[in-house]
Amino acid sequence: MVGDDFKITPAISFFVDCETKEELDTLWHALLDGGFALMPLQEYPFSDYFGWVQDRYGVSWQIQPNNWLKLVDTSNLARAEAVTNELYKMKKIDIAQLEAVYNHFA
């Protein structure tokens, strides 16, 4: 039977980008209900607020703020390159610094 051969594992995760910290917290608690945290929702070296949770069905979710994705939008290639270059310098993503680089091109 195929269902016995394939298992859901954390090797595959859905990424969810949330608009606000409140939305992130709400989603986190909903997914955590009956599941468990793989990485608790907190600050990490790569993000100010991130969490990785496995829900009650065994599906893994990585949730994070979405504001940094707009900063690498390629509608302005020079801006995207400048933001990406700034990002590569960071050990921890500094959204305020990336926004400053992004806004320099506005």
In the predicted model, is pLDDT for residue 1 greater than 70?
Answer: no
pLDDT in tens, 38-58: 999 988 777 778 899 999 999
Q: Is the pLDDT of residue 32 over 90?
A: yes
Domains in the chain, number: 2
pLDDT of residue 17: 86
Query: Is 3 domain-assigned?
Result: no
Residue with tokens 């926004």: 99
Burial class (CB in 10 A: 0-12, 13-18, 19+), 41: buried
Number of helical (H) and strand (E) elements in the chain, helices listed first: 4, 4
Q: Do 49 and 76 have their domain in common?
A: no
The band of 67, judged by pLDDT with boundaries at 50, 70 and 90, is: low
Distance CA 52, CA 37 (A): 6
Q: Are residues 14 and 59 in the same domain?
A: yes
pTM score: 0.65
pLDDT at 2: 55
Burial class (CB in 10 A: 0-12, 13-18, 19+), 82: middle
